[in-house]
Amino acid sequence: MHDLFAALLDVSNYVLILMLVSLGLAIVFGLMNVINMAHGEFMMLGGYVVLVCHQTGLGVLPGILLAPIAIALLGLLVEGLLIQRVYTRVVDTILATWGLSILLKQLVVLGFGPGSHAVPNPLPGLASLAGLEYPAYRLFIMLVTLFALLATFWLFFRTDFGLSARCVIANRGMAACLGIDTRLLDRFTFACGSGLAGLAGAVMAPIVSLDPQMGLGFLVPAFLSILIGGLGSVATPLAGASIVGLTDNLVSTFLSPLWAQGVVFTVAIVLIRFFPTGVASRRPRHL
Amino acid sequence: MQRGAWWLVRLAGDREIGAATLVFCVLIVLPLLLPAWILTELSRYFSYMLLAASLAFVWGHCGMLCLGQAVFFGVGAYTMSVVTLGKLGFAPWLVSSWLGIALGMSIAAMLALVLGVFFFFARGLGGAFFGIVTLAVAVIAERLATGSRWLGGQNGLMGVPALQAGLNAGAEIHDEAVAYYIALGVLGIGVGLTLLLVRSSWGLSLLAVRDHERRAEALGVNIGRRKTEAFVFGAVLAALAGALFASQFNFTSPPLIGFVMSAEVLIWVALGGRGSVVGASLGALAVRLAEAWLSEPLGPLWLLVLGGTFLLTVLVAPLGLFGFLAPRRS
């Protein structure tokens, strides 16, 4: 029973992180029709911000607080310099952001070396949860990601900004006609999406080894989550993330981690084939 | 007769074909001018150029952004290696280079067929998301190759013999000039065939599918089928390049089938010119030459320069360096 609970917590951990990454990606794609191939690198950079904070003595926890802000600012910069020149051509956004991801990776390699780095766990030890002993930091991760997800939802569904954003997602042209500043929203949204990725990377930093190539490992599952879940609303990618995360963990545990990605992918292909607009989405999305 | 003559006239006035012929003639003459070791280097670039041509066809001409083209390249390379190293479990005596090439192309074709059937029918996968899915395929292919002991695991397969002239093994072809001309021949046939297909009515229908899918469908083109056909052709071409590569470099390893290689081809094609098969091949050649020249002195800065150039090209010159070679439709 306890093992099941622990396994459930492990799965939830991964699923929540994946949700965070996918959400950022989905928001940017839903609003701006931009596919950000550098999203994984934003996540990686979030982790490296924590590393820098640790190395300069600022501490890991302040680093986790600082990372999403730093990465959001980076997102703002990227949006202004790069995205706004290519967002009319969807395919070129892939290429441009792909080029950006190469640049970011190489900059990190130049700055920190190609090897991996470790950040110490700020909350070592076990916590007691309903009679189960579980690593305290993992519980912290879950709390942070849940909070971030809820905050994002609050932003999108309970504020005026969120209302404008959902307007633009639904019908960009009409929203512009109604006087909504789509450019400002673009900037803010891209910053938001990047910040979410940065947070995901930052919060994961103490329990994974940071290396410049880690972005790709989350980019692919995040995209698959969006494909499976659909882009009908801000919530649907989360359904996709749940499916991807669950499948990955189940297969990793019961078969082997090698098969996990293959199985996830096959399941994703089958689901996409039969639910081209996503399992949870009702609105068709023309790409 | 009349039609044939007009066709020849059109071909003669075609910029891309003219460029291709020019480059081909130059490459034919080069062995008379260059030392043998440069010939070996150059003939290795031909595999890359063929791979770039295949992606230019699939992406530039047909509009399918395949971020996993190296998967088919890797399939060709691995099949060639497995066969010529005698690793076919049920028939270890079958080590024919020809079989390696043919089998590699067939397996790649079958894989592309399966993927095509899954991706292009019913509502089909839109351009951008198709890219993501092919990216996932590349990542998984590399994982599988790394995890397979039969395929050599992380180190891959070494000691792959060079092309053997005989029907089933024979003398390996080690003469630099001969190997050069064989590689050039393969490149010439591959690119030539692609250039002709692009200008055929089949190629024209693919342009229609690329530019406006719904309209093409309304005009009677079976989208799913057409795209799958094109995808299979691209895969076969890439596999041929891969098989050639394996025999030239004498090894195959997981990075060749994975995402990094796919991204490299993408960069070559984006820099060289995605609308033109010849342009993309030249782009591959140019980047490879630049890398051979610059990567030592620049060290880790080389990737930065490459990434930056790629980024700039996408922003400022999306047609690519040799994009002006792309055939015009008027």
Task: Name B261's Cβ contacts closer than 8 Å, sequence gap at least 6.
Answer: B70, B73, B74, B255
What is the reported pLDDT for A287? Answer: 43
What ipTM was reported for this prediction?
0.82
In total, how many domains does chain A have?
1
Angle at A243 between CA A29 and CA B144, to 5 degrees: 90
What is the reported pLDDT for A283? Answer: 53
What is the reported pLDDT for B233? Answer: 96
Chain B neighbors of A110, CB-CB under 8 A: 300-301, 304
Domain containing A29: what range?
Answer: 2-213
Q: Has residue A12 been placed in a domain?
A: yes
Nearest CA in chain A to B125: A276
Tell me the C-alpha distance between B5 and A37, whole Å: 48
Nearest CA in chain B to A274: B122
Chain A neighbors of B137, CB-CB under 8 A: 265
Place of tokens 């047609």: B319
Of B125, B133, B300, the CB nearest to A110: B300
User: 3-class DSSP state for residue B167?
Assistant: strand
Q: Has residue A78 been placed in a domain?
A: yes
A230 with A240: CB under 8 angstroms? yes
Which residues does A contribute to its contact with B (CB < 8 Å)? 35, 82, 85-86, 89-92, 94-96, 98-100, 102-103, 105-107, 109-110, 216, 220, 223-224, 227, 258, 261-262, 265, 268-269, 272-273, 276-277, 286-287
Q: Has residue A239 been placed in a domain?
A: no
Tokens encoding B314? 């996408």
Polymer length in residues for chain B: 330
Nearest CA in chain B to A85: B315
* Interface touch B314/A261, C-beta < 8 Å: no
Q: Has residue A227 been placed in a domain?
A: no
Tell me the C-alpha distance between B287 and B81, whole Å: 26
Of A86, A261, A276, the CB nearest to B139: A261
* Interface touch A262/B144, C-beta < 8 Å: yes
Residue ranges with strand state E in chain A: 126-129, 132-135
Looking at the complex, report in whole angstroms how far the Cα of residue B68 sits from the nearest Cα belonging to chain A. Answer: 13
Helix and strand totals (H; E) in chain B: 13, 2
Report pLDDT digits (tens) over B81-127. Answer: 998 888 877 877 777 888 889 999 999 999 999 999 888 886 667 77
* Interface touch A276/B124, C-beta < 8 Å: yes
**DSSP codes, B69-120:** HHHHHHHHHHHHHHHHTT--TT-TT---HHHHHHHHHHHHHHHHHHHHHHHH
Tell me the C-alpha distance between A262 and A241, whole Å: 16
* Interface touch A99/B314, C-beta < 8 Å: yes
* Interface touch B143/A262, C-beta < 8 Å: yes
What is the reported pLDDT for A281? Answer: 62
Of B266, B306, B311, the CB nearest to A96: B311
Of B129, B136, B303, the CB nearest to A220: B136
Cβ atoms within 10 Å of B54's Cβ, excluding its own? 32
* Interface touch B301/A110, C-beta < 8 Å: yes
Of B144, B147, B307, the CB nearest to A99: B307
Torsion angles phi and psi, residue A281, rounded to 5: -85, 145
Cβ atoms within 10 Å of A206's Cβ, excluding its own? 24
Q: Has residue A250 been placed in a domain?
A: no
Q: What is the CA radius of gyration of chain A?
A: 19
Q: Has residue A245 been placed in a domain?
A: no
Full pLDDT tens readout for chain A, 287 residues: 667 788 888 888 889 999 999 999 988 887 788 889 999 999 999 999 999 999 998 888 899 999 999 999 999 999 999 888 887 777 788 889 989 999 999 999 999 988 888 888 888 888 887 777 888 888 899 899 999 999 998 998 899 988 988 888 788 889 899 998 888 888 998 999 999 999 999 999 998 889 898 888 888 889 888 888 877 677 788 888 998 898 888 888 888 777 787 888 888 878 877 776 767 665 555 44
* Interface touch B300/A109, C-beta < 8 Å: yes
Which residues does B contribute to its contact with A (CB < 8 Å)? 65, 118-119, 122-129, 131-133, 135-137, 139-140, 143-144, 147, 259, 263, 266, 270, 300-301, 303-304, 306-308, 310-311, 314-315, 318
Chain B neighbors of A218, CB-CB under 8 A: none
Q: How many CA within 13 A on the CB side of residue B174?
A: 4
Return the closest-CA partner of residue B22 out of B191, B200, B243. B191
Q: Hey, what amino acid is at B167?
A: L
Tokens encoding B125? 């996968």
Full pLDDT tens readout for chain B, 330 residues: 456 666 666 666 688 888 898 999 999 988 888 888 888 888 899 999 999 999 999 998 998 999 999 999 999 999 999 988 888 778 777 778 888 899 999 999 999 999 998 888 866 677 777 888 898 899 889 988 988 888 888 888 888 888 887 777 677 777 888 888 999 999 999 999 999 999 899 999 999 998 888 899 899 989 889 999 999 999 999 999 999 999 998 889 999 998 889 989 999 999 998 889 999 999 999 999 999 888 888 887 888 888 899 988 888 888 888 888 777 654
Looking at the complex, report in whole angstroms how far the Cα of residue B276 sits from the nearest Cα belonging to chain A. Answer: 17
Looking at the complex, report in whole angstroms how far the Cα of residue B151 sits from the nearest Cα belonging to chain A. Answer: 15
What is the reported pLDDT for B330? Answer: 44
Tokens encoding B123? 């509502």
Please state the pTM of the whole predicted model.
0.88
